[in-house]
Structure 1
């Protein structure tokens, strides 16, 4: 296990692959940790330098007092990549991770040469919706909403499998304060104007059964970036890297080839 002390936050991270390989950075969703990508990694080309991390308030990273702001989440990974000496990465962000990807690409084009915006949006939901979510978590924790979250995250077919319990367990074992802090960051974020100014290779990935970030939202967001492309994974929900890792890997690998990263 590795922990980067970045001052006001300590981030748990993992690096797989050769130190000098082309870097690919993964940022996961609200309520998950870096294990979100476990099934995907063996399907990626050999030789990549793969960086994963737990955002603040999640997994094994530290738990600064909330609420958080998107600027802090972007600054966290910016500092981590500087700490690791990562430049010219393809940044794969899912859900809140995709918002972080947009913010970092605007701020540090030396760190990000292409983005994969997976199951995300330039703006997700409304501030009132997220304020209600934060209040509920602060009052009662994550457990009471876990089953509803599973319905938004996964397709009916996946929810009928025993594996669902693993993801429910991961969700409810995240620190409630960290979940609430990051939920507040989502509620305060609107990247429509800034993302529309991006000029870099971009791929949008959506799941047809996504109850959190529907395909139209993902397409609308990625269409803000000229020359971007979009891929819909049918039969998958909010976490297609979990439900359909083979198709997800095929789409990601094709994009890595297209942008000359491998």
Structure 2
């Protein structure tokens, strides 16, 4: 583990893999931390330097007053790359991390080699969905996070996976219960306000959109839309709910590696 000092706090990160290899940045979903990628790291680190980090408001990273914006969170990624003297990198983000990836592709494409956006959309939800959740979390604090944890298994995983792998599902959902309520609410606002539907055509880096066929949070149509709007983009779909990287495991990792190593 390491940390990088920003103007207003620290970003917690972990860097693994062979020195000199291409860098692959992994960006977590709302309510998780860098350990949501534990399943992928051994496979990824065979080919890349894997840079995982806790998004602002999550894990061991800074929690600053909200609301946040995806632009702010994308700026944190660029600051992390700058601090580690990484000129260009691959980027893979899931859900909120996928929104950050879209922002980077639109606004900082010169820093990216290839871009993967998973279980996400150019616009996720509406104020009618996000505002009550923000209000509840700010009002009820950690008790609200525990309640969200208990409800998240059905949103994040298929029933079959949750039944077959209860310890893994619990490991991931416990990340939500441990997340700062203030940080979570501030990131909810960032997701609420992000809308890249009219700007996806500005992305010029090679892109892969990954969806889960059983994902009720960000259904496959959202990933299909991204793929259709970005010239030359690829699409992959797995039988999974929202956290497809956790649920699918090795086939997810292999598809990402194949895309990143393609010539």
By how many angstroms is 1:149 displaced? 2.0
Q: Is the 8 A contact 1:124 1:213 kept in 2?
A: yes
By how many angstroms is 1:240 displaced? 1.3
By how many angstroms is 1:116 displaced? 0.3
By how many angstroms is 1:168 displaced? 2.2
Q: Is the 8 A contact 1:2 1:14 kept in 2?
A: yes
DSSP-derived class of the 1:13 partner: strand
Give CA deviations for 1:209-244 in whole Å, capped at 9, x if unaligned: 11211111111122210111100101x111111111
Partner of 1:34: 34
TM-score (norm 2): 0.94
Which sits farther off after the overlay, 44-53 or 79-88?
44-53
Q: 1:28 & 1:168 partners in 2: Cα distance?
A: 13
By how many angstroms is 1:195 displaced? 1.7
DSSP-derived class of the 2:194 partner: coil
Root-mean-square deviation (CA, aligned residues, Å) is 1.3
Moved over 4 A (4+): none
DSSP-derived class of the 1:3 partner: strand
DSSP-derived class of the 1:193 partner: coil
DSSP-derived class of the 1:186 partner: helix
Partner of 1:253: 257
By how many angstroms is 1:47 displaced? 4.0
Q: 2:63 & 2:148 partners in 1: Cα distance?
A: 21
Q: 2:113 & 2:13 partners in 1: Cα distance?
A: 21
Unaligned runs of 5+ residues in structure 2 are: none
Pick closer, same or farther for the CA change 1:65–1:45 going to 2, 3 Å.
Answer: closer
Partner of 1:189: 194
Q: 2:158 & 2:225 partners in 1: Cα distance?
A: 22
Partner of 1:16: 16
Partner of 1:83: 83
Q: 1:223 & 1:142 partners in 2: Cα distance?
A: 36
Q: 1:123 & 1:205 partners in 2: Cα distance?
A: 16
DSSP-derived class of the 1:142 partner: helix
Q: Structure 1 residue 150 and structure 2 residue 153: aligned? A: yes
DSSP-derived class of the 1:132 partner: helix
Q: 1:172 & 1:216 partners in 2: Cα distance?
A: 29
Partner of 1:233: 238
The 5 Å alignment of 1:45-194 reads: 46-140=46-140, 141-160=144-163, 161-163=165-167, 164-194=169-199
Q: Is the 8 A contact 1:45 1:253 kept in 2?
A: no
Q: 1:47 & 1:157 partners in 2: Cα distance?
A: 32
Q: Is the 8 A contact 1:9 1:76 kept in 2?
A: no
TM-score (norm 1): 0.94
DSSP-derived class of the 2:229 partner: coil
Q: Is the 8 A contact 2:18 2:45 kept in 1?
A: no
By how many angstroms is 1:117 displaced? 0.8
Q: Is the 8 A contact 1:98 1:117 kept in 2?
A: yes
Q: 1:205 & 1:253 partners in 2: Cα distance?
A: 13
Give CA deviations for 1:49-88 in whole Å, capped at 9, x if unaligned: 1111001110001111111111111111111111111223
User: How many pairs align?
Assistant: 258
| Higher share of residues assigned helix | 2
